[in-house]
């Protein structure tokens, strides 16, 4: 009988372990954040509380699209993930899930997403969710990620698609207000992703992925994080400037944006892993709190 060492991953056996492993493939924390931006867009589009009959299938469909995209991303990147310490324990490279099973699972999630959104919400929302999945899987994962330093700059649009899904679910259309929310997530993505890239720079270098720190160096990356933090602050004020959201949101946008800029400056000054980690953690909280305040502002005012 072959010896199983403690460091070797054990394939899931019970139903609970199998479910947990497949949920891990979906990158559930990221899915929850993206779905939250979808819900926020729905609140703003409805000018208050959106109809539950539309909100529930929008949440389910949006979660399935985001999760399915992440699964296929891990299927495609399984060779690269195996080379990096941060990702080597993921279900596919660790041997807990067969690649073909992951691919089928990911495709099934996206198909169900389109059907649920199309039947119970509207086909524009379904098309946007499917477009976001295609954007993430084909444009970002397959075409950009391994080939150009612009991968995050262009690929960030995939993470911003959920807000359009949430808006279209309520209004059946996309307008300038929806695109302002899209722009916020789009410009948030580079500083967030590059802060993480600074933390795992050796991993990306080992896997030959041209993230900004690998392709342009850490000094340039820190400067770009600060530049995008400044642009993000300005763009985040657009919903207040155009009257979509009120003073509560405006104050929060200034405080949160100022906090990210402060950490970005500190990142240039200190050049440490601790500074990069602080910037990364704050950037994650930034988006969650900014969109939470959007809901508070819309409900209260």
Is 86 within a domain? Answer: yes
Co-location of 81 and 160 in the same domain: yes
What pLDDT score does 14 carry?
81
Locate 170 and state its tokens: 């309520």
Locate 156 and state its tokens: 């960030």
What CATH number is attached to the domain comprising 148? 1.10.357.140
Structural domain containing residue 94: 14-174
Is 197 within a domain? Answer: yes
Co-location of 170 and 42 in the same domain: yes
Co-location of 40 and 160 in the same domain: yes
What pLDDT score does 2 carry?
36
Is 77 within a domain? Answer: yes
What pLDDT score does 67 carry?
97
Could you give the angle at which helices 15-25 and 99-120 cross, rounded to 10 degrees? 80
Locate 113 and state its tokens: 């997403």
Overall number of domains in the chain: 2
Co-location of 166 and 195 in the same domain: no
Is 96 within a domain? Answer: yes
Note the helical H segments in the chain. Answer: 15-25, 28-45, 52-76, 78-81, 99-120, 123-134, 151-171, 176-199, 201-206, 212-215, 218-236, 238-241, 247-270, 273-300
Is 3 within a domain? Answer: no
Co-location of 188 and 85 in the same domain: no
Locate 212 and state its tokens: 């900004």
pLDDT, one tens digit for every residue, the chain (301 residues):
333 333 455 567 688 999 999 999 999 999 999 999 999 999 999 999 999 999 999 999 999 999 999 999 999 999 999 999 999 999 999 999 999 999 999 999 999 999 999 999 999 999 999 999 999 999 999 999 999 999 999 999 999 999 999 999 999 999 999 999 999 999 999 999 999 999 999 989 998 999 999 999 999 999 999 999 999 999 999 999 999 999 999 999 999 999 999 999 999 999 899 999 999 999 999 999 999 999 999 988 7
Cβ neighbours for 286, distance < 8 A, ≥ 6 positions apart: 188, 192, 256, 259, 260
What pLDDT score does 300 carry?
80
HSE-CB of 38 using CA atoms within 13 angstroms? 33
CA distance 223 to 264: 8
Is 4 within a domain? Answer: no
Closest to 156 (Cα-Cα) out of 125, 175, 182: 182
261 and 222 Cβ atoms separated by less than 8 Å: no
Mark which of 130, 154, 174 sits at the end of a domain: 174
Mark which of 126, 156, 174 sits at the end of a domain: 174
Question: What is the secondary structure of 217-278 as a DSSP string?
Answer: -HHHHHHHHHHHHHHHHHHHTHHHHTTSS-HHHHHHHHHHHHHHHHHHHHHHHH--HHHHHH
Co-location of 235 and 257 in the same domain: yes
């Amino acid at each position: 009988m072959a010896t199983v060492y403690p460091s070797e991953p054990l394939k899931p056996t019970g139903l609970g372990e199998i479910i947990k492993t497949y949920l891990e493939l979906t990158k559930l924390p990221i899915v929850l954040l993206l779905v939250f931006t979808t819900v926020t867009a729905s609140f703003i589009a409805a000018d208050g509380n959106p109809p539950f009959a539309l909100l529930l299938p929008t949440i389910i469909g949006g979660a399935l699209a985001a999760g399915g995209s992440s699964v296929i991303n891990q299927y495609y990147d399984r060779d690269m993930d195996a080379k990096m310490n941060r990702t080597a324990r993921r279900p596919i490279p660790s041997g807990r899930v067969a690649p073909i099973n992951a691919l089928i699972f990911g495709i099934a999630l996206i198909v169900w997403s389109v059907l649920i959104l199309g039947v119970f919400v509207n086909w524009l929302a379904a098309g946007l969710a499917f477009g976001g999945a295609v954007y993430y899987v084909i444009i970002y994962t397959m075409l950009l990620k391994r080939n150009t330093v612009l991968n995050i700059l262009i690929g960030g649009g995939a993470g911003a698609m959920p807000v359009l899904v949430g808006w279209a679910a309520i209004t059946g259309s996309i307008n300038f207000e929806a695109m302002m929310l899209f722009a916020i997530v789009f410009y948030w993505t580079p500083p967030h992703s590059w802060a993480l890239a600074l933390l795992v720079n050796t991993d990306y270098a080992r896997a030959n992925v041209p993230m900004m720190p690998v392709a342009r160096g850490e000094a340039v990356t820190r400067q770009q994080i600060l530049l995008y933090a400044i642009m993000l602050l300005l763009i985040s004020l657009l919903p207040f400037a155009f009257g979509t959201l009120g003073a509560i949101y405006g104050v929060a946008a200034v405080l949160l944006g100022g906090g990210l800029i402060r950490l970005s400056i500190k990142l240039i000054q200190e050049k440490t892993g601790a500074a990069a980690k602080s910037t990364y953690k704050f950037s994650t909280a930034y988006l969650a709190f900014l969109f939470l305040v959007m809901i508070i502002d819309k409900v209260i005012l």
